[in-house]
Amino acid sequence: MEGVQLVIAICEKNKLHKNIIVYNNGGFKMKTILFVNACMRERGESRTLELFDSFIESYMQKHSDVKLIEEKLYKMNLKPLSKFDIERRDSFISKSDYSDKMFNLAHNFYQADKIIIAAPYWDLSFPSILKVYVENICVNGITFCYTENGPKGLCKFTDLMYITTSGGFIAENDFGKDYINGIAKFLGNGNFMDFSAQGLDIFDIDEKNVMHKACSDIARLADGF
């Protein structure tokens, strides 16, 4: 799809916090899709990104009014929250002041109509940069709040898709998917979907065949997103 290739090309060019790409500005009903890219490897290398591309291409074929925002976590200089960061954040929150740039990722997550997270399967879950991202988006007053009945998610997303690929087989060790599902439930009440291609680094598995089938399977899932 030419349009998607264009989106991707623009994503590659843009730098930190400037990955805002209007795919097709069809008017005020335009939906925002947030793509959280937690893949260390680039396009052409990363099988996880290959799955994402198949999924979004298929989605874009059927939806013209979409704004796609790609956040490339490995390019964003994200760091685990320090004591200083937490104290600073708490001080802003106590004043209900959410204008600092430290809240940008949380605002984007809150506003997205749909969210896609792509991360390779690492050490039974995902790369630590994705956990750092989660630390940054879980902000009391933006993405969730506390009520008499406990915490309540405030995010608008109707659907969240988690995409991963693994070298071996995940089996019962699906901790990455389970954790992201938990975070999705904590921050909102949209549908959770997931997709994986597995066994890609096993020597007698035909990786190309597995990926070929996985790409067409995930493309079909875009209908329900």
| Residue among 60, 76, 134, 200 that touches ligand FMN (CB under 6 A) | 200
Give yes or no for residue 167 binding ligand FMN (CB under 6 A): yes
Interacting residue with ligand FMN among 12, 100, 123, 206 (CB under 6 A): 123
Q: Is 196 in the site for ligand FMN (CB under 6 A)?
A: no
Query: How far apart (Å, rounded) are the C-alpha atoms in residues 212 and 220?
Result: 13
- Residue 90, interface with ligand FMN (CB under 6 A)? no
Does position 178 bind ligand FMN by CB under 6 A? no
Binder of ligand FMN out of 182, 201, 206, 213 (CB under 6 A): 201
Among 1, 16, 64, 168, binds ligand FMN (CB under 6 A): 168
User: Of the ranges 20-28, 63-71, 139-147, 166-174, which one interacts with ligand FMN (CB under 6 A)?
Assistant: 166-174
Question: Cβ of residue 45: shortest distance to ligand FMN, in angstroms?
Answer: 6
Q: How far apart are CA 133 and CA 131, in angstroms?
A: 5
Residue 165 phi, psi (nearest 5): -135, 150
Beta bridge partners of 116: 35, 161
Joined tokens for residue 31:
């939906």
- Residue 46 within binding range of ligand FMN, rule CB under 6 A: yes
- Give the span between the Cα atoms of 155 and 192, in whole angstroms: 13
Q: Which stretch binds ligand FMN (CB under 6 A): 41-49, 85-93, 183-191, 211-219?
A: 41-49
Q: Is 120 a binder of ligand FMN (CB under 6 A)? A: yes
* 206 lies in the binding site for ligand FMN (CB under 6 A): no
Residue 165 binds to ligand FMN (criterion: CB under 6 A): yes
Taking the least distance from each CB to ligand FMN, the nearer of 50 and 57 is 50
Query: How many residues line the site for ligand FMN (CB under 6 A)?
Result: 16
For the range 148-155, what are the long-range contacts, defined as Cβ-Cβ under 8 Å and sequence gap of 24 or more?
A: 151/186, 153/185, 153/186, 153/187, 153/188, 153/189, 154/110, 154/187, 154/188, 155/109, 155/110, 155/112, 155/187, 155/188, 155/190
DSSP state of 158: S
* C-alpha separations of 159 from 82, 190, 225 in Å: 31, 5, 6
Q: Which is nearer to ligand FMN, 65 or 201 (CB)?
A: 201
Q: What are phi and psi of 17, to 5 degrees?
A: 65, 10
Binding site for ligand FMN (CB under 6 A): 39, 41, 46-48, 120-124, 165-168, 200-201
